[in-house]
Structure 1
Amino acid sequence: MTSVKKDAETSLDPQLIQSCGDVYRNPTEVQMSQIVLPCHANHCGELSVGQLLKWMDSTACLSAERHAGCSCVTASVDDIHFEHTIGVGKVVSIIAKVNRAFTSSMEVGILVTCEDLYTDRHWKVCHAFATFVARRTEAGKVQLKQVIPHTQKEQMEYSLAAERRRMRLIHAEIITDLLNSSTAQLGEFQEFEDSVLAERTRVESVELVLPPHTNHQVSTFGGQIMAWMENVATIAASRLCNAHPTLRTIDMFHFRGPSHIGDRLVLKAIVNNAFKHSMEVGVCAEAYQGGEPLRHINSAFMTFEVLDGDRKPCTLPRIRPEPVDGKRRYQEAIARRKIRLDRKYIISCKQTEAPLSVPWDPSNQMYLSYNNVSALKLMDTRTNWVLTSEKNKVRLYTLEENHMLCIKVEMHVSVPAEQAFYLLSDLRRRKEWDRHYEECEVINQADEDDTLYRIVTPSVSKGGKGKDFILLASRRKPCDSRDPYLIALRSVTLPTHPPTEDYTRGEVLCAGFTICEEFSAVTKLTYYNQATPGVLPYISTDIAGLSSSFYSIFSACSKFLEANTDGVCAQPPSSF
C-alpha cells in the first residue's frame, strides 16, 4: 500500500540526509495504512468515524510508546474537524509522531489522509493532537526524555505544543467561565412550531468490556470507548432528522478514569440543540461493576450535519428541550457553537486570510491569545531570514512571504532574561525607550498573562494625524529551559474603543519579543513585526538603509533594560 508522500522540506533539505545516506525520519513516527472494507463502513458505504478514531488512537499510542519506552494511556484528544468522508475501497493513511514530551505526558500529532488507488489522488481528512501519559513502572514515575526537533516543521510543532498544553490545562475552567459569561447574551428560549422533543432523541446503551476491547495494558482501549460514544451519538442525531447524519466536529475528549475487563460501560446521548444546518449531540460514558456506583469515564460534544444528494447541508428541524436540565443544555449548546465559530474563525484560517483585527470578548479570549502567541512562535521558527544590515551590534533581518514583509531585529543585552521579560511586557514603559510610543494605557487586564492596551504613535509626516492601536499583549514564561520568554502583540477591536477622528486606526497582525538567556546574565533579545500597511511607513526607511532610527531605538532599549533591573515587578499591569 502506498503511504503519504514526504513533505518537500523532508525530501529536499540536504541537512536531513544522514551520514549513511538515508533521508531523515522522525524516530517516533508511526504510519498505518488501511483499506476501507465493508465491515468498516456504515450503511451509506462510508468509513465509520468510530472505526477511524480507533485507528487514530492505536497509531498515536504506538508513537507515544516508541518515544517513552513503556506503556502509555490516552489522556485526551483535542478538537477534531472532519473535512471529508471516506468511501469503501479507499486507503486511509495515518501518520502519528510525538511533537513534544513534558514530565510524564507527551503530545502526539496525528494526520489522516485518504488515497484513491485508481487515480493516485490524495487528500487530507483531518488532523488531531492527542495527549498520552506514560504509565508508572516498577522503578516509579516515568521521566520522559526530551524531543529534539530536526526540521523547521518539527521545531514549529514543538514550540506550539507548549501553548496547546496550556490551553488543555485550563480548558474546563475556561469553558465554564465562557458559558457563565455568555448565558446572559444568549437570549430567552424560543418555541418553534413542529419542533422535535429532545427526549425523542435520547439514547442509552450498555457495553460489556471483554478482552477484545482492551489494550495490551488490560484496560479498555481509548479508541474503543470513543467508537462506542460516536455510535450512540449518531443514533441520537438520526432520531432528530430521520436520516443518516454526517459527523463534522468532535469537541475535546478528556478521559477522566480507566475502565477494565468486566466493567459495564453505560453510554448516553441526546441532541442538545439544533441549528439551521447542524446539531450538537452530548454524549457521556460511565462505568460500573457489580453494585458499585457509576464512574464518569468520558464526555464529549459532537456536531452533525445531514447532507443531500449534492453533498450540501440540509435544513434541520428545531429541538424542544425538556424543562430545567434540557433548557440548560440547550443554552450551553448555543454558547459552545459560538465558541466553535470563534475558534474556527481565529485559529483555522490561513495566515494570508486572517483579518488584521479580530473582535475581542471573553468568549474568544482563549483562542485569540493562542493565535497571538502561535503567530509569534511561527515567525520565530522561520529559517530563511535575510540579514539586511548590522550597526552597533543590532542586526536587522527581513523576510518576504505571502506578499507580506516581516522584519526581525536581534541584539544581546547584559540583563537576565526574566528581568528583561518583566520590563518589556509592561507596554506602558516602552515610551521610555521607543519614540514610536507616545501614549500607552491599559484598557483591560484580561488575566495574569493577557492585557489589552491602547497605544498612540506619532505621525510619520508633518501635519498628519497620529495613529492609535488597540493591542492584545500575551506574555508567556518558558515551559522548560529550551523555550524563550515571549511577549506577543496583535490588534483587536473593542466596541468601547472605536476609531476616532483625531487618530488613524492602525493594525498589527503579529509583533513581539522572544527573550532567551544564552549565558549568565547575557540575553538574546529578538523583536519581530509583520509589516502591515499601518506600520510599514515607520520602518521602510530603516529597511532601505536610509535611516538609523531602529538601531538607536534598540540601543536605547538595551540601556533602558540595564538601568532598570532593580525592583522589577513580576506582576501584570493593573487596569486604570
Structure 2
Amino acid sequence: MEPYRNPTEVQMSQLVLPCHTNHRGELSVGQLLKWIDTAACLSAERHAGCPCVTASMDDIYFEHTIRTGQVVNIKAKVNRAFNTSMEVGIQVTSEDLCSEKQWSVCKALATFVAQRDSSKVKLKQILPLTEEEKVEYSVAAERRRMRLVYTETIQDLLAKSIIQDDLESRDCSMKVPAEKTRVESVELVLPPHANHQGNTFGGQIMAWMENVATIAASRLCRAHPTLKTIEMFHFRGPSQVGDRLVLKAIVNNAFKNSMEVGVCVEAYRQEMESCRRHLNSAFMTFVVLDGEDQPMTLPWIQPQRGDGERRYREASARKKMRLDRKYIVSCKQAEVPLSVPWDPSNQVYLSYNNVSSLKMLMAKDTWVLTSEINKIKLYTLEDDKFLSFHLEMTVHTDTTQAFLLLSDLRRRPEWDKHYKSVELIQQVDDDDAIYHVISPVLPGADGKPGDFIILASRRKPCDSGPDFSASELCDFGQVTCLDWAPGERDPYVVALRSVTLPTHPETPERTRGETLCSGFCLWREGDQQTKVSYYNQATTSFLNYVTTNVAGLSSEFITTFKACERFLLDNKSELALSLQNL
C-alpha cells in the first residue's frame, strides 16, 4: 500500500543552474520566490479546480543559501480553505547530490484567491487527517486572524513604540544619505510573465521587487548584500499583460549588521500613466557577509527630512517587531519560557502564540484515554518534555453561553477551588485580558498561597468576515460577501498562559506559579448541547498534583470538572451584560 499523501500536495524539484544564480554562484532569491509561488499556485489550483491568484505571502526567514549544482526541493499543500481564499504551506529544502546532504532553506505561507471568469468561487473545505494536517488546519484560523488585522497592527505598534532619536549621535563620517540608495525601475508585463488569464504571476512581481531592493542595499554598503528576511507581501490587486510596473526601493535604516529596504510597486497602462495604482509594498532585511559568512558592520544612513525620518524610525520599530515575532511566533513551543514579559508592542504575537499553542496541543493524535468516571473522560499525553492532561464532558447548555461564562476568569472561583480570587488587571481588547489569580496553599508550597499572572485569549470559531477588505475584494474581481464559510471543526477557544508584568512582581508572601499552555475548547454538538474539553500542559510546580490525579490516587480533577458542569447548568440562562460584546 502506498503511503498517505495529501491530495493537494505538490512537489517541485529544480536543479540550480548558472542562469539562476548571482555573482557568488548562489541561487537568486528572486528566482526562488518564482518557484515558491508557482508550486503554491499549483497546489491551490489543484484544490480549487480553477485559476488562483496570489493574494499575500507571509514573512519569510531564509536559513540557508543554495549554490549552483544543488537541487531545490519545494513542497506545497493547502492547509485550510475558507470561502474564496485558502492558505498554502510551503517548505523549501536544498540538496547536494554528491554528498547527499540536505538543508532547510525556509518555510512560507501564502494566501491564494480562487477565480473563475472574474467572479468568486466558493471552495470546498479541507478534511485534515494526519496530526500535522490537523495542527496546520487549526492554527490557520489564528494566522488568518492576524492577516486580517495586519495593517492595523502595524500602525498600532508603530504608534506605541518609542524609538530613540539617535540621528545626532551617530558618526557623521560613516553616514550615507538615504537618497543615494534610491532606485526606480520600470518593467513591462509580457505574456511570459502572466498566467493563462493574463494576470501577472505574483512570484514574478516578488522577483522584480527583490532585484530593486538588492540594488538599493548595494548602494549603501558598496558590496554584495544577502537577503535574510522578507516581511509580508500583500497584493492589493492584480496586474495584466501590457501593464507598466514601476518599482521603487530605498534603504530606510541601517543598523550595526543589517539594513531595511522598503520597496513598493505601482502599475499603469500606457494610455493612463498619470493614473497609477498601488500593487504591493514590502520590507526586506539584508546583511553583508564576510569570507567566513559573518555579518559585517554597515555604514549608518542619513534620512531626508520629513518622510525619510518617518521611514527611518518606523524601520527601527519594525526591527523590534520582527524580533518579537520571530521569537514568539516562529520558535518551537518548548523553547518559549513559561512566563514571557507582557509588552503592548508584541501583544498580538503573544495572543497568537497563546491560542495556537492550545490548538496544537488539542490537535495531537497521541492522547490516551486513562479513565472515565461520571461521564467525564480523562486523557493523558506524554512526550519528552511534558505531561499533559485533557478532561472532556458533554453539557446540556448553549455553546455560546458556556463560552461566555468560561472566558471570564473572574467567575472561575465559583466552581474551581484552586482559584481563590481573580482580579482583572487589564482588558487588552475585546478578546484578550490579563488577570491576577490568587490560589490557596498547595501541597509542597511551603505553606504559602500561590498567585499567577494569566493572559486569557478567547476566540470564536472562524466563521465570519472576508480575508480582505471590500475594496481589495473588488480589486481581485470578488464581491464582498457575508456568507463566509464556517469552520465546522473549529471550537470556541479560551487559551491561558503566564506572562510577567512589572506592576505585579513576585512577593515573599506568595509562591509565583506559571502555566505554559492550558484552556478550554468547546464544540457545538447540537441544540443546547456542548462538548467541553479542558487541556493543561503540566509544569514542574504542579507535576505531583497532576500525576496523583492521573494515577487515580486522587479524584480532584473529576470533582472540579463536575463543579464546572454544575456552574454551566446553573447559569445556562444567564447572559452577563459585561460579556455580550464579543
Using the size of structure 1 for normalisation, the TM-score is: 0.93
Equivalence for 2:512: 505
Equivalence for 1:379: 361
Equivalence for 1:481: 488
Equivalence for 2:381: 399
Distance 1:402 1:390 in 2: 26
CA drift of 1:403 comes to 2.2
Q: Deviations over 1:386-432 (max 9, x none)?
A: 22222211222221213211111111111121111111000000000
Equivalence for 1:77: 57
Q: Does 1:561 align with 2:568?
A: yes
- How is 1:294-305 mapped onto 2 (pairs within 5 angstroms)? 294-305=276-287
* Alignment equivalent of 1:412, drawn from 382, 388, 394: 394
CA drift of 1:110 comes to 0.7
Q: Does 1:246 align with 2:226?
A: yes
Equivalence for 1:17: none
**Partner amino acid for 1:564?**
N
Equivalence for 2:450: 467
CA drift of 1:136 comes to 3.9
Equivalence for 1:150: 129
The question of whether the paired residues in 1 share the 8 Å contact of 2:31 and 2:207 is answered with yes
Find the residue that maps to 1:534 and give its secondary structure: helix
**Partner amino acid for 1:488?**
A
Q: Which runs of 5+ in 1 are unaligned?
A: 1-20
**Partner amino acid for 1:472?**
L
Distance 1:534 1:236 in 2: 53
Q: Deviations over 1:443-483 (max 9, x none)?
A: 11111111111101111148711111111101010112221
Distance 1:438 1:573, change over 3 A: farther
CA drift of 1:185 comes to 4.6
Equivalence for 2:170: 192
Equivalence for 1:165: 144
* Alignment equivalent of 1:226, drawn from 186, 206, 213: 206
* Alignment equivalent of 1:50, drawn from 7, 26, 30: 30
Q: Deviations over 1:42-69 (max 9, x none)?
A: 1110000000000000111111111111
Equivalence for 2:41: 61
CA drift of 1:572 comes to 4.3
**Partner amino acid for 2:170?**
F
Distance 1:44 1:571 in 2: 62
Equivalence for 1:425: 407
CA drift of 1:570 comes to 7.0
Distance 1:390 1:40, change over 3 A: same
Equivalence for 2:439: 457
CA drift of 1:222 comes to 0.8
- How is 1:85-164 mapped onto 2 (pairs within 5 angstroms)? 85-137=65-117, 140-164=119-143
Q: Deviations over 1:102-154 (max 9, x none)?
A: 1100001111110110111111100101000011448x531100111111111
* Identical columns (%): 65
The question of whether the paired residues in 2 share the 8 Å contact of 1:448 and 1:572 is answered with no
- How is 1:269-308 mapped onto 2 (pairs within 5 angstroms)? 269-289=249-269, 290=271, 291-308=273-290
Find the residue that maps to 2:293 and give its secondary structure: coil
Distance 1:61 1:178, change over 3 A: same
**Partner amino acid for 1:474?**
S
Equivalence for 2:466: none
Distance 2:456 2:158 in 1: 24
* Alignment equivalent of 2:554, drawn from 528, 547, 560: 547
* Alignment equivalent of 2:6, drawn from 26, 46, 59: 26
CA drift of 1:219 comes to 1.4
Distance 1:292 1:198, change over 3 A: closer
Q: Does 1:534 align with 2:513?
A: no
The question of whether the paired residues in 1 share the 8 Å contact of 2:163 and 2:317 is answered with no
Equivalence for 1:217: 197
* Alignment equivalent of 1:36, drawn from 6, 11, 16: 16
Distance 1:482 1:371 in 2: 20
The question of whether the paired residues in 1 share the 8 Å contact of 2:163 and 2:316 is answered with no
Find the residue that maps to 2:558 and give its secondary structure: helix
Distance 1:545 1:110, change over 3 A: same
Find the residue that maps to 2:320 and give its secondary structure: helix
Q: Does 1:514 align with 2:521?
A: yes
Find the residue that maps to 2:35 and give its secondary structure: helix
Distance 1:54 1:326 in 2: 31
Aligned residues: 552
CA drift of 1:379 comes to 0.8
Equivalence for 2:156: 177
Bigger RCO (CA 8 Å, 6+ sep): 2
Alpha-carbon RMSD: 1.5
**Partner amino acid for 2:401?**
Q
Equivalence for 1:313: 295
The question of whether the paired residues in 1 share the 8 Å contact of 2:395 and 2:529 is answered with yes
CA drift of 1:31 comes to 1.1
Distance 1:463 1:339 in 2: 40
Distance 1:186 1:436 in 2: 44
Distance 1:234 1:97 in 2: 30
**Partner amino acid for 2:77?**
K
Distance 1:408 1:431 in 2: 20
Distance 1:562 1:87 in 2: 64
Using the size of structure 2 for normalisation, the TM-score is: 0.93
Distance 2:554 2:193 in 1: 69
Find the residue that maps to 2:541 and give its secondary structure: coil
CA drift of 1:307 comes to 0.8
Distance 1:455 1:399 in 2: 26
Find the residue that maps to 1:217 and give its secondary structure: coil
CA drift of 1:265 comes to 0.7
Equivalence for 2:371: 389
The question of whether the paired residues in 1 share the 8 Å contact of 2:354 and 2:497 is answered with yes
